[in-house]
Chains A and B, each alone.
Chain A
Amino acid sequence: MTVNTMSQMNLTEQIITIALLMIATMATRFLPFLVFSGKKKTPAFVKFLGNALPAATFAMLIVYCLKNVSIIGGSHGIPELIGIGVTAGLHLWRKNTLLSIFAGTVVYMLLIQLVF
């Protein structure tokens, strides 16, 4: 992971960032209890987002993880492609989340440390 030391956060900024992560998380956990009583009906658009948003969000997170991969330079994204392939293949085959994550990570680490 490349770290740009020029623009790194100081301690106060780190604390603010962590606090914001906490506040956003707590907002999503507490809001339903503050807004809705057991009898009120959930608005349809809220339900829709609940069903549709996670899939799109995790697609975004995968792209976020891969944003520093260069297809033109370096190892051309080949270790990432193989790592994801191993993870996805194992996950479709064995349906064991932990196995998929750890096998994919180990393969990736071996590839970038020993092969590329």
Chain B
Amino acid sequence: MKKWRALKAAFPATIPVLAGFSCLGIAYGIYMRVSGFNFLYSFLISALVFGGSLQFVGVPLLLSSFAPVEAFFMALMVQARHLFYGLSMLGKYENTGAKKPYLIFSMCDETFSINCSAEIPEDVDRTDYMFFVSLLNQSYWIIASVIGGLLGSLITFSTEGIDFVMTAMFVTIFINQWKKDKGHIPEWIGIASSVVCLIVCRTVFDSDNFLIPTMICIISLLFIFRKPIEKNLKDGDDGSSEEAEAQNGGEAEK
């Protein structure tokens, strides 16, 4: 009964996520299927990786030749923001017992933003509430991506160009990031590093592997311009700013 009460309290908070994950999860499953990966791949990746942006980027990675180092560092860059979700949840996830590993494992942008800001009713167990938020959100994503994977094989119209869903998703996240920061230095560093590295890799080395040099450039340039960047960024002190980030920057992610 205690668990039921927690589930009933958690579900309404996850309804917006249900809407978002249904659409993007189905789109992901279809994109996977038309790229040659059936619903079992979507199921496994959604269950084990559970990170929208990275899962989308994973599709072209899986379609290209084997590049484990590039894939690993790409994943670290895309997921780096989770470090900060974790830092703001150190306290909230303390004393959650056996559920703690799953709470951490499944902490995507949306789950973080709900659990970080949730006003949990007095008579509801906090751990159970946060556990159900995490479980519901991940279930929505897994089920939607499997549905997409199954639908993908039934589709009769041309899906040419469906991979643009990934580009569009990153454009919306980028705009959210852009609006948060007055100076736009990190944005320009990101654009300039990747365009220059892509052109150099293409013309000088006749190679498409521009990600690792780009990541090195981005991190070096961020530290070179650290002072002006920090002046522009509103200094995020604790949970409140990271929470805002999850809602503004992360929401588009899945």
Contacts and interface: CB of A to CB of B under 8 A. Distances in A.
A33 B86 contact: yes
Interface of A: 1, 3-4, 7-9, 13-14, 16-18, 20-33, 36-38, 42, 45-67, 79-80, 83-84, 87-88, 91-92, 97-98, 100-102, 104-105, 108-109, 111-113
B199 to A, nearest CB: 10
B65 to A, nearest CB: 4
B147 to A, nearest CB: 16
B118 interface: no
Q: Which 4 A-B pairs have the closest CB atoms?
A: A59-B190, A32-B86, A56-B190, A24-B75
19 contacts: A7-B64, A26-B105, A28-B81, A36-B87, A48-B222, A49-B222, A51-B229, A51-B236, A53-B77, A54-B177, A54-B249, A58-B174, A62-B174, A63-B214, A66-B167, A101-B252, A104-B171, A108-B161, A109-B161
Contacts of A108: 161, 164, 168
A53 B186 contact: yes
Nearest to A109: B161
Contacts of A48: 222, 226, 229-230
A67 B171 contact: no
Contacts of B229: 48, 51-52
Interface in B15-35: 19-20, 23-24, 27, 35
A32 B92 CA distance: 13
Nearest to A108: B164
Contacts of A84: 167-168, 171
